[in-house]
Amino acid sequence: MPPFRAAGRLALLLAVLAEAPLAARAQTDGGVGETIEVAGERPGGSAQAPGAAGTTVDMARFSGEVRSAAEVLATSPGATVHQSGAPGQSASLSLRGASADESLILLDGIPLQGPGGGSIDLATLPAALLDRMIVSRGVLGAQLGAGALGGAVELVPRRATSRPSGGAQASIGSFGTAQVEGDFASGGALLGIQLDRTAGDFDYAARVPPEAPTFYGYTRQNSDARRASGLFRLEQRPAADTELDLLLQATAGDRGLPGAVTLTTTHSRSLDQGGLAGARLRGSAGRLAWAVRAWGRADRIELRGVQLTNDCTDGGADCPRSDERSSTARAEGEIAAQLGGRQFLKAIISGGEEWIAGAPTGSHRRPLTSLALSDDVVLPLDVTVHPALRIDRVGPDTAVSPGVTATVRPAGPLEFRAGWGLSFRPASFAELYLDQGGVAPNETLSPERAWSADAGAAWRSPHLTLAANVFWSRYRELILYQLYPPFRSKPYNTGAARIAGVELQATGSLPWGVTAEAAYTFLDAVNLRSGLEGHHLVYRPPHQLFGRLARRGDRLEGYAGLTFRSEMPRDAFDSAHLPAQLRIDAGAGIRAVGPLWIDFEVKNLLDDQTQQDLFQYPLPGLSLALIARARL
């Protein structure tokens, strides 16, 4: 055991509160724009953000693998995923260096963010029930709504089929990990379920404190997790030119909160439940298309055994439970018109309300209204321009988000694009009203604001796709927690930053059915806050690299992949860093009989047990998984 064990109780409480899962729920059809398809010919791009830099991740490429939503998103350039340990523990997404609550996540077009734009816990997203993920990068508030300061991820659930079809997959693996998933579709209806569990008791090595010269060995405790997720989707055509679709999604989980290396907690737990229901009716008449939609979402999270100064035994007089509930209801109408043969104009109006209730924040509600206009114009010389404007009112805050993207295809497979956007993120209910332990509320917070510009080029051919983007972003009035006398922390609009970078992506077909892909991100995230000018923002790796070789066939399949993340700062003065990390994964499968496949997978092949992530949470070493799957 190490001679010293440090404590950072306020960081623990903030991390626990920030990881409150607000349930999983996204889909749009294909659109126009520079979007890299990483596997096969699929409908590409975001219909809501045409022309934006993006990546479409086909979930079929991960058949026979155990992949969480966080691991899938990490394959996209511009995306940084932070995980707090074993499978099932919380994970967050950063797009182009923006914070987790500045990146929107939508299911079937429905925002999953909590009240006011709180970050989404990726561990609550049912990856096995998705058809694909569309990652759009940039300040996209004009196209996708308030809060999209780094970009957005659209989760596209599997679609129903007219003919009966279905599939199932089951896996067991290291650290008591098991997963069962299945789906069945017929007559325009689809039902899917996903069940996950893990004991999370992996071995790891750490230096405590981080500056110590010697690594010591430990076994992770209180890192177990269980989750059940379900999705139902129904698509019907009441008339030839009218379509009705219904979406229901629910998730529930129970997990331990083990704490960071320097602050292990053996009693803290988190329980969450969430559900979503949405209905949409859409149709067309001549050159007009229309849609009306309504949805609602309810979420609950309960924290047990959590205190500011330490964890505690649940049920004691000095260990009260923290129970928080939130919900959102919203309706929208959309109309689009084709003007001539070279212009498509669209307008969307929506309104609703969101609520939150619980001991940490109290009971609060605020109205939500928005009006959005967008236009797609095809100009001579194969130039397409996509201007957009959105006005959002969230409670007392009203802001205008303009944006524009443009693409030009001068010849054959070559394409150029550029984009600009300005938007905002309103303060969340937690930032405005959370009053617990060492955290104080601030009801005078203003929205965070950002603007960005980017440009890129792409080359597309049947067997090779290459893309490159450069971007520059400026953030101001960022909400940061600061010490508040005598012993509390309070949020203020004191942050400012400049983030620039480069994104490269390539995918190509090789002989013998092999597909190769690679993604690289360079990020320069600089603090502009007074007193910290010139220092880098914490937990933003300057370099990330993902590479993968995979073969699909009718008898044998396999893959090998690597993920590299460079050293990154973990304090505001660039004086302490998380070391660089390299992870290699591999797997192989064989069709045993009929539609039954048996797969074997190895993660962290180098068995590096020293890897850590956000807030010094240890990550698992080598893990094995045995998988059986079939699809009819």
Q: Tell me the pLDDT tens digit for each residue of 211-265.
A: 888 999 999 999 999 999 999 999 999 998 999 999 999 999 999 999 888 888 8
Q: Which two tokens stand for residue 521?
A: 């991100």
The answer to whether residue 323 sits within a structural domain is: yes
Relative to beta strand 35-37, strand 53-58 is: parallel
**Residues facing residue 416 across a β-bridge:** 408, 457
DSSP conformational letter for 350: E
For residues 279 and 292, what is the distance between their CA atoms, to the nearest angstrom?
9
Q: Please count the structural domains in the chain.
A: 1
Is 106 a domain residue?
A: yes
Distance of CA 333 to the CA centre of its chain: 26
| HEC sequence for 603-630 | ECCCCCCCCEEHHHEECCCCEEEEEEEE
3 part of a folded domain: no
Evaluate whether 430 touches 326 at the Cβ level (below 8 Å): no
Domain of 372 in residue numbering reads as: 9-631
Strands, E assignment, 187-309: 189-198, 203-206, 216-219, 225-239, 242-256, 259-260, 263-264, 269-285, 288-304
Kindly give the parts of the chain with pLDDT less than 70. Answer: 1-44, 114-118, 308-309, 437
Cβ-based neighbour number of residue 260 at 10 Å: 24
281 in any annotated domain: yes
- The amino acid sitting at 382 is D
DSSP H helix total and E strand total for the chain:
4, 38
Residue 1 domain-assigned (yes or no): no
Q: Which residues pair with 301 in a beta bridge?
A: 272, 324
CA atoms within 13 A on the CB side of 557: 21
Amino acid at 338: Q
Distance CA 54, CA 499 (A): 18
Kindly give the pairing relationship between strand 577-578 and strand 91-95: unpaired
Rounded CA separation 223/221 (Å): 5
What pLDDT score does 632 carry? 86
What is the pLDDT at residue 126?
Answer: 83
Q: Give me the CATH number covering residue 163.
A: 2.40.170.20
What pLDDT was estimated at residue 367?
96
The β-bridge relationship of strands 103-107 and 151-157 is parallel
The order of strands in the sheet holding 53-58 is: 35-37, 53-58, 130-137, 151-157, 103-107, 110-111
Q: How far apart are CA 258 and CA 255, in angstroms?
A: 9
Q: Is residue 417 part of a domain?
A: yes
Report pLDDT digits (tens) over 116-137.
Answer: 556 788 888 888 889 999 999 9
- Pull the structure tokens for residue 43: 């409908």
Total-model pTM: 0.90
| Residue 510 is assigned to a structural domain of this protein | yes
Task: For residue 348, give the nearest of 376, 331, 368, 372 by alpha carbon.
Answer: 372
pLDDT attached to residue 614: 80
| Token pair in block for residue 496 | 């400012």
Tell me whether residue 4 is in a domain: no
Peptide bond into 387 cis (omega under 30): no
Q: 3-class SS at 158?
A: coil
